[in-house]
Amino acid sequence: MKNKIYFLIVCIGIITSCTKMDNTYKPYLAEGEKYYPGKPSGIELHSGRNRIEVQFQQSLDPNIAKYVIYWNDRADSVITLPTAELGILKTIIPGLKEQSYNFEIVSFDKLGNSSLEVIKSGKVYGTTYESELLNRGVIIGNTLAGLELSFSGAETFNVSTEVTYTNALGKTATVRVPSTVDTYTIADNKGKQIELKSAFVPDKGIDTFYSPSVIQTFNAYAGNYQATGVFHHPDNGDRNIDEAKVLARITDEIVQCNLGDLGSSGYLMQLKVNGDLSVTITPAGATPNIDQHWGPSYYDPATKSFHLFYSYNTAAPRKVEETITLK
């Protein structure tokens, strides 16, 4: 009899507890169970110039009526409507300041129910970013094939470099060198300067940004050459010249190289191509003097070669006839 009375008391306690629990949760269930529409997925932000592209995969929830993209702590927003294909939606938001943003994407169904938000951070670029971009470094050299550009390693997001030069017709031309190319040859260059401007596209970006353009001058005659000819010595007779020569840049107009075959002795000369393609030879290094009256010295642009006739040492002239041709 005591066991039955104890069991009855326990049952009454359980029923009372359950009643209290129901009363505790009733206020929260008065409006029924909360429904959340399907939220978008695969959010990607593609940076641009004072704009950004928001891309996401639509939810498969058939009740969704719109997507709202919020930013600036929901002070600004834009609405994007779903498509029948339920594929990827792309929305470009223009007129943004150059800074980082947090974007919230929320789905709404036809009854106004909202999904849980999806948050993604992205960056918008502008004039400040562009002004700080650096051109890809380049070393300019001359070869028989043309003007040789040897580029340094590309910066992050650098996709190409535009090179503007003067072509064989005397007109301005532009080539685009991809960032994956380290050496590029311009076959028809006839100028003495190039303009460089490197292009940058941020990761998954939708716009191209350009570094401030720079003009780089160079000596159009500096490079590696082969010299051939004859050295006429007043006492020892003639000897052939056949050696590699480097015409090193002194200025954008003047190059320097060995005189005849005496470079190892410190005898040097400087060459300047004049407007009429004649060449002025000036002594350098240990060379005491140079006399050019023996014949015209000139530059042949067709073969990219110097044809030189000169002598040094006025008391007993050593006469040199040599052709120096670009390799």
User: What is the per-residue pLDDT across 215-232, written as a single tens digit (0 to 9) for each?
Assistant: 999 999 999 999 999 999
Domain boundaries, the chain: 41-124, 129-217, 223-326
Query: Is 104 a residue whose pLDDT tops 80?
Result: yes
| Higher pLDDT among residues 9 and 84, named by residue | 84
Confidence (pTM): 0.77
Q: Do domains 41-124 and 129-217 have the same CATH topology?
A: yes
Superfamily in which the 129-217 domain is placed by CATH: Immunoglobulins (2.60.40.10)
Q: Do residues 291 and 318 touch, judged by C-beta distance below 8 A?
A: no
Average pLDDT, the chain: 90
Query: Is 79 a residue whose pLDDT tops 90?
Result: yes
For the segment(s) 223-326, the CATH number from 2.70.180.20, 3.10.20.30, 2.40.128.420, 2.60.120.20 is 2.40.128.420
User: If one looks up domain 41-124 in CATH, what number appears?
Assistant: 2.60.40.10
How large is the average pLDDT for residues 240-251?
95
**CA-CA distances (angstroms) from residue 195 to 128, 178, 223?**
22, 16, 20
Instruction: Identify which of 102, 53, 71 has the alpha carbon closest to the alpha carbon of residue 201.
Output: 53
Region at 263 (left for phi over 0; alpha for psi -120 to 50; beta for the rest):
alpha
Query: Is 159 a residue whose pLDDT tops 60?
Result: yes
Instruction: Identify which of 217, 238, 241 has the alpha carbon closest to the alpha carbon of residue 325.
Output: 241
Per-residue pLDDT tens digits for 27-46: 434 455 778 899 999 999 99
